[in-house]
Structure 1
Amino acid sequence: MASKKMYSVVAVVGIVGASTLAWWLQMPKSDAGAPTGARAVGVEITQVKKQTLRDDAEAVGSLRSSQNVMLRPEVAGRVLSLGFADGARVRAGQVLVQMDDTLQRAEVQQSLAQMSIARANHKRNQELVAQNFIAQRSLDESAAALQVADAQLGLSCARLDRMRLIAPFNGVVGIRSVNVGDYVKDGADLINLENIGSLYVDYRLPERYQIKVAPGQTIEVKLDAFSGRLFKAKVEAVDPLIDANGRSIGVRAVLANTAGEPVAAAGGKSQGQGAAAPAPAKSSVSETSAPNNRGVALPSPQSLGCPTNTFDRTRTSAGGDQHGPLRPGMFARVTAVFAVKPNALVVPEEAIVPQGGKQFVIKAVPPSDLPVPAASSASAAASAPALPPDTKLVSQRVEVRLGMRRGGQVEITEGLAEGDTIVVAGQQRLQKDGSPLRVVELGRGPANPASAAASGASGATGTDASVSANSASAAASAASR
């Protein structure tokens, strides 16, 4: 029983001794005659630089034709002739689909005959009234009959004109879904027409950008179909309605159908260097090809005597070159550029120290650059530990104002100047201004050899202390057993 108590006492004494030895070994020691100073804190530093920052936002969108239409017949009938080839360029006013208009032409001939009779009767009545052979009433009735015949002619001509499907603008037709001889109903899809001389880029941005987006701004567009190429477009319109589901605004930009330009890489060379630009697509049928090249050629309603249509269903558009490589429906990656700052002061994001609703940065300055303490704090400054003799940099906390954040960099609008040295790692160990700093380069260890030696010595001391403590604990546990 007494031996067990003795073992316990020996174990307790061993643990206490080992702990005391470890504490003594970890205490900082100074050379004889040298003042004891504060230990330098290892930090990483960098300098405040100027660079170009862009206030921009990224989004995804789609390309759309500047003009597009699906041609559909207004009346049912049989297809008599096609005036286009699949994927061909067509001009405004070109007849694309001719329906069988035999009945409508017969109606026009009948209306023309009735018009001729009504005109002759009215002319004869005018002569008879001038000679007082008939009453004025007969002349009025003939004039009304002439107007009715004229209206009937216009109606029959309009029905005849509806049997032709005409291209309303310059563009490129798609792949047809109808053949000569097919009977189609009114409203059936026959052929789509796309104006691809210029295209729309439709995309959406979060609602917080609504005060920044304005017509006329330039955007950058990248297409997955043409990697390594950059396209420029201009904002044309902003939708005034904000989508309640996604809280976003719709934006439409105009993009010229060109080959774009190579994307500039970081080294100044283009990523697309050595790669040929996308070749423009060539149409199999020229824009000046004659209409009705598949089937019979029919005379126009005007050649039969119909008056010129007061409502022109064709309008020539400034569609540009229809041979461009871009196509509607392509997936687009959009970068909306709101502003460009060429000489913005930037620091890494990790250098920012938020505290109490404010933003701070730790500057690394020589000890002589620290502000002189006031007389009231002179005693506090005298009681502060002395700096190590080889101290070249100390810490100084500075409040800053932040601007844009781009690519891990933060713009500093107030508080720093170009070339200032700041701390980017190790700020959490700097609790007050004037703390000595030991510059450490990542992967290289401390920059100061003396600091490195001190660091190694302290590390070795700490290792010896931990080894001694472990040995004592092992001896105590063995004694207790």
Structure 2
Amino acid sequence: MSSRKNRLLVVAVAIVGLVAVAYFAYTGFRAPAGAKTTAGPAGGAAAPGAARPGPPGGFPLPVETVRVEASELVVDATAVGSLRSNESVVLRPEIAGRIASINFKDGAAVSKGALLVALDAATQSAELDQARASLALAQANYQRTQDLFAKKFVSGQALDNTQAALKVQEAAVALAQARLDKTRLRAPFSGVVGIRNISVGDYVKEGQELVNLEDIATLKVDFRLPEAYLGQLRPGQRLEVSSDALPGQVFTAVLDAIDPLVEASGRAISLRASLSNGERLLRPGMFVRVRLIFERRTDVLLIPEQALVPDSKAPFVYRVVDGQAKRAPVSTGLRRAARVEIVEGLKAGDEIVTAGQLKLRDGAPVRAVGEDAESAGQGK
């Protein structure tokens, strides 16, 4: 009897538990009292399972947007280069000797032909005087021989001998003068001399470096570009040159030469441009940044790169139309400074989404927010 009562008790507890589970399941899936139902096409309740746009609860998603604007697009190429002197030379003596005088100051500007360094020329001057004296004697002998030949007192051979002797002495004078000139080192062009490491009285050997001379009124800009730009390069094109040493200043250069040989190792083209440096702000050997402008386009549609959503078929953006996100496939062009050229798919004035695209789908309700709204939301 007791065993039967226990079984009935267990069955009763099980039935009560099943009823409780059924009740909680019913109340959990039931719409709360007073909740508004979505009206259907005929004004009744929406059919079960009907799609609801947007996030749960129908709230619009916050996104960042911008307006598409037409602007100017510059088609250019950038590179790094080095500055070189228009003319550069290191003065070296052709003969050995002792320095007699130095006629310049370190870092000073000199004119073409100016005497910079003079070597001791006592021996060369004496040789030149000797050659000139011999030349004067040869000229006198030749003049007398001409007079005697005219009176038929000497033969034609005698006249030829004196004439040859005269030419020999003339050559001797020219040779002595050349030796004397080699003791005078003059500026081959106008420029600025460097810092010397010699002094008066030093004995220098043949080919020893004395001082450098640089023409920096005009500078050469040497740089390289990939071979893909070869078809767009033309002598005479304008360049913009800037240096980290002079921030904010841009100098204009002109493309002068294109190397006919493409470097096989880097597939690059060597280029040289000329740059006016009248104020001497730039110096040879400086590192510079070069910008070569090929074309300027106007009324080009540019959008931020982050607005573009990649896709296997074609990239697209989300346009904001009447508070909803509309998917718009686009055709892109050049990319410049984190912006993309839109060739087809948008027009000026369209509002597009730049942040928050990952949570969107076509037709989803959206709400544009700015940095101020985001900051306020974060602070709250």
TM-score band (shorter)? Answer: 0.7 to 0.9
Amino acid corresponding to residue 282 of structure 2 in structure 1: L
Equivalent residue runs for 1:330-409 within 5 Å: 330-356=286-312, 358-365=314-321, 392-400=323-331, 402-409=332-339
- Give the 3-state SS of the residue equivalent to 2:349 in structure 1: coil
Q: Describe the shift of the 1:71–1:59 C-alpha distance in structure 2 as closer, same or farther (beyond 3 A).
A: same
Q: Report if the CA contact (8 A) 2:121-2:180 is conserved.
A: yes
For the pair 1:31 / 2:38, whether they are aligned, the reply is: yes
Match of 2:340 in 1: 410
Whole-angstrom CA distance in 2 between matches of 1:407 and 1:107:
72
Amino acid corresponding to residue 339 of structure 1 in structure 2: E
Identify the structure with bigger relative contact order (alpha carbons < 8 Å, sequence gap 6+): 1
Match of 1:139 in 2: 159
Structure 2-normalised TM-score?
0.78
Q: CA offset at residue 338 of structure 1? A: 2.5
Of 119, 128, 151 in structure 1, the residue corresponding to residue 148 of structure 2 is 128
Amino acid corresponding to residue 421 of structure 1 in structure 2: E
Q: Describe the shift of the 1:20–1:240 C-alpha distance in structure 2 as closer, same or farther (beyond 3 A).
A: farther
Q: For residues 35-85 of structure 1, what are the alpha-carbon distances to aligned partners after superposition, in whole Å with 9 as ceiling and x for unaligned?
A: 444413745443221122222333222222212111000111111111111
Amino acid corresponding to residue 129 of structure 1 in structure 2: F
Percent same amino acid among aligned pairs? 44
Q: Report if the CA contact (8 A) 1:363-1:398 is conserved.
A: no
Whole-angstrom CA distance in 2 between matches of 1:142 and 1:20:
141
Structure 1-normalised TM-score?
0.63
Match of 1:294 in 2: none
Stretches of structure 2 lacking an aligned partner (at least 5 in a row)? 1-19, 56-60, 375-380
Q: Report if the CA contact (8 A) 1:365-1:396 is conserved.
A: no
Q: CA offset at residue 107 of structure 1? A: 1.5
Q: Describe the shift of the 1:15–1:77 C-alpha distance in structure 2 as closer, same or farther (beyond 3 A).
A: farther
Amino acid corresponding to residue 332 of structure 1 in structure 2: V
Q: CA offset at residue 24 of structure 1? A: 8.7
Q: CA offset at residue 418 of structure 1? A: 0.9
Q: Report if the CA contact (8 A) 2:112-2:190 is conserved.
A: yes
Whole-angstrom CA distance in 1 between matches of 2:201 and 2:70:
72
Amino acid corresponding to residue 31 of structure 1 in structure 2: T
Whole-angstrom CA distance in 1 between matches of 2:22 and 2:175:
116
- Give the 3-state SS of the residue equivalent to 1:226 in structure 2: coil
Q: For residues 121-140 of structure 1, what are the alpha-carbon distances to aligned partners after superposition, in whole Å with 9 as ceiling and x for unaligned?
A: 22222222222222222222
Match of 2:11 in 1: none
Amino acid corresponding to residue 441 of structure 1 in structure 2: V
Q: Which has the larger radius of gyration?
A: 2
Whole-angstrom CA distance in 2 between matches of 1:59 and 1:37:
55
Q: For residues 235-265 of structure 1, what are the alpha-carbon distances to aligned partners after superposition, in whole Å with 9 as ceiling and x for unaligned?
A: 22232323333332222222222xxxxxxxx
Match of 1:173 in 2: 193
Equivalent residue runs for 1:454-465 within 5 Å: none
Q: CA offset at residue 101 of structure 1? A: 1.1
- Give the 3-state SS of the residue equivalent to 1:228 in structure 2: coil
Equivalent residue runs for 1:224-263 within 5 Å: 224-257=244-277
Amino acid corresponding to residue 329 of structure 2 in structure 1: V
For the pair 1:56 / 2:76, whether they are aligned, the reply is: yes
Whole-angstrom CA distance in 2 between matches of 1:99 and 1:92:
19
Equivalent residue pairs, number: 343
Q: Report if the CA contact (8 A) 1:395-1:430 is conserved.
A: no
Whole-angstrom CA distance in 1 between matches of 2:24 and 2:197:
94
Whole-angstrom CA distance in 1 between matches of 2:286 and 2:118:
32
Q: Report if the CA contact (8 A) 1:221-1:334 is conserved.
A: yes
Q: For residues 156-211 of structure 1, what are the alpha-carbon distances to aligned partners after superposition, in whole Å with 9 as ceiling and x for unaligned?
A: 11111111000111111111111111110010000111122222222223332333
Match of 2:203 in 1: 183
Q: Describe the shift of the 1:114–1:208 C-alpha distance in structure 2 as closer, same or farther (beyond 3 A).
A: same
Q: Report if the CA contact (8 A) 1:45-1:425 is conserved.
A: yes
For the pair 1:421 / 2:377, whether they are aligned, the reply is: no
Q: Which is richer in strand?
A: 2
Whole-angstrom CA distance in 1 between matches of 2:143 and 2:30:
134
Match of 1:110 in 2: 130
Q: CA offset at residue 16 of structure 1? A: 12
Whole-angstrom CA distance in 2 between matches of 1:441 and 1:187:
75
Q: Report if the CA contact (8 A) 1:47-1:420 is conserved.
A: yes
Amino acid corresponding to residue 439 of structure 1 in structure 2: R
Whole-angstrom CA distance in 2 between matches of 1:252 and 1:20:
84
Q: Describe the shift of the 1:365–1:328 C-alpha distance in structure 2 as closer, same or farther (beyond 3 A).
A: same
Whole-angstrom CA distance in 1 between matches of 2:256 and 2:241:
15
Q: Describe the shift of the 1:357–1:207 C-alpha distance in structure 2 as closer, same or farther (beyond 3 A).
A: farther
Q: For residues 428-475 of structure 1, what are the alpha-carbon distances to aligned partners after superposition, in whole Å with 9 as ceiling and x for unaligned?
A: 56666xx34323426648xxxxxxxxxxxxxxxxxxxxxxxxxxxxxx
Whole-angstrom CA distance in 1 between matches of 2:166 and 2:25:
125
Q: CA offset at residue 22 of structure 1? A: 8.7
Q: Report if the CA contact (8 A) 1:66-1:196 is conserved.
A: yes
For the pair 1:328 / 2:284, whether they are aligned, the reply is: yes
Amino acid corresponding to residue 183 of structure 1 in structure 2: Y
Q: Report if the CA contact (8 A) 2:318-2:325 is conserved.
A: no
Q: Describe the shift of the 1:177–1:106 C-alpha distance in structure 2 as closer, same or farther (beyond 3 A).
A: same
